[in-house]
Structure 1
Amino acid sequence: MIKNSVLMLALALVVASCSLSKEVREQRKTINGTWLLEDVGYEGDGGSFKSMLFNDANGFCFEGSKWSFLENNSTGSYTIPTSNSVCPGGARNIRWSVLENENGNDKLQFKFIDEKKKDLYGRTGYRLEILSLSDSQMRLKSDVNVDGSPVSVIYNFVKQ
């Protein structure tokens, strides 16, 4: 009997420590659904440069891409339009979550998965700072270095 009680207490502690905060649960509910990435912009270093986002495609290829987030199983996808021969159009499957950040904005993180929901590249993934999030708009940011200078990539989404 005591052994079962200790086991139940240990299990309760593990479950409590893994639970999501109310803020993260609300963000996940808001993100749930289909979004259109309207614009990819840059802040920081002036000048002209070409960007490769998520080790996948040029930044301009992502404009007009559709992103789907399913809250119930933390999976989703994004689809790059096949509007020209430069952009590798098609769908990419992802597993996503919201990472709580006590020192600033929370982050949307994702990694690539296959059709069977298996991780494609080990523990490699991407984190985007959530600048703003509402029922109709989402603005994310990732910081990168270009020739030693900091540049922020800004992603502006609208909910479909």
Structure 2
Amino acid sequence: MKKGILICMIAALFFACKSASSTASTETALSTKLDKKTQVALKGNWVLTNVSYPGSDYIKVNSFDLADSKCFIGSTWSFISNNNKGTMALTSPSCTAFSSPIVWSINNQGLLVLKILDAGEKAKKVRDGYLLKVGGVTETSFQLIDNINVGGQVKDVVYQFQRAN
């Protein structure tokens, strides 16, 4: 009887300590691997200077489910690369003012993962976010490119940023 209990206890310890499948761990690590070089390049304060829709200048876009895309022109963005936090603020006089903390990262596929938070909200509680392609990164400018569906066709929305002085 004691021998049976001992074997059950050893078996329970063995199975309780068994690690997760290495395939699942590898897939998770690959999908969340960060492009730290590009993240460091975006570190700092930026102004969104232009929003364009290449080939479709007459569409109306509600950016980030917040406001008309043109309201983002002049908005200020701060990206902190060592903790992937920051802020964004809409400041256009003809639009409703808005300010929010953000959490962001750039994955190894060149996509900026962006979460816009409500005040006091934890990023891990926010399930919705945005994936935007990062392009044209220089010391003084970069672009974020969103894809939207317009009448069954995928169109780009290009957000142009300039480093703030």
SS state of the match for residue 93, structure 1? strand
Query: What is the alpha-carbon distance in structure 1 between the residues aligned to residue 98 and residue 91 of structure 2?
Result: 7
- Structure of greater Rg: 2
Tell me the CA shift for residue 152 of structure 1: 0.4
- Identical columns (%): 27
List alignment gaps of at least 5 residues for structure 2.
1-16
The alignment's TM-score, normalised by the length of structure 2, stands at 0.75
Tell me the CA shift for residue 43 of structure 1: 1.6
SS state of the match for residue 72, structure 1? coil
Query: What is the alpha-carbon distance in structure 2 between the residues aligned to residue 47 and residue 126 of structure 1?
Result: 22
The alignment's TM-score, normalised by the length of structure 1, stands at 0.77
Runs of 4+ in 1 over 4 A off after TM superposition: 17-21
Q: Which residue of 1 aligns with 2:75?
A: 65
Query: What is the alpha-carbon distance in structure 2 between the residues aligned to residue 115 and residue 48 of structure 1?
Result: 34
How big is the alpha-carbon RMSD for the aligned residues of Structure 1 and Structure 2? 2.5
Q: Give the structure with the larger strand fraction.
A: 1
Q: Which residue of 1 aligns with 2:87?
A: 77
Tell me the CA shift for residue 151 of structure 1: 1.2
Q: Call closer, same or farther: CA 1:96–1:52 in 2, change over 3 Å.
A: same
Q: Which residue of 1 aligns with 2:11?
A: none
Tell me the CA shift for residue 149 of structure 1: 2.0
Deviations for 1:106-130, whole angstroms, at most 9, x for unmatched residues?
0111112233351397311001101
List alignment gaps of at least 5 residues for structure 1.
1-6
Q: Which residue of 1 aligns with 2:145?
A: 141
> How many corresponding residue pairs?
140
